[in-house]
Amino acid sequence: MLGVVLRTLITALGIWLAAYLVPGVSAASTGALIWAAIALGLINAFVRPVLVLLTLPFTVLTLGLFLLVLNAGMLNLADWFVDGFEVVGLWSAVFGAIVVSLVSGLCSNFIGPKGSYEVMVVRRGG
């Protein structure tokens, strides 16, 4: 359970950073950030896998670049569900999705499956 909460907070951090950096992405309040992160997590868990499977030929033809458009669509879908969170335009959605993906990916590397903070230490014998 702690892992889900930490990942939601990481996604909220990514959305906050996207709102700060990308023109056209905005969140009216902290509550809107949290709800947008929850909505994005649920959308990515249930809707995105189906769409990835359905759009697999486009993804293969574009060598994976279509996934950027798909991620932008997921961010727009979260906008549709959450009041106070807004994404205006395709390019704002694409760049916002890139920021959220980078922040989530980088931060999630340090979170284990049970939500604990993990660091790998390599010791060399000698």
pLDDT tens by residue, 32-43: 999 999 999 999
pLDDT at 126: 60
C-beta separation of 68 from 48 below 8 A:
no
What is the reported pTM? 0.85
Is 80 exceeded by the pLDDT of residue 77? yes
Mean pLDDT score of the chain, rounded to an integer? 91
- pLDDT by residue (tens digit) across 14-26? 999 999 999 999 9
Dihedral sign from CA coordinates of 83, 89, 91, 92: negative
pLDDT at 74: 96
Gap between the Cα atoms of 48 and 69, Å rounded = 12
Is 80 exceeded by the pLDDT of residue 114? no
Using the 8-state DSSP alphabet, how is residue 117 labeled?
B
Average pLDDT over residues 45-62: 96
Average pLDDT over residues 56-75: 96
pLDDT at 108: 79
Is 70 exceeded by the pLDDT of residue 7? yes
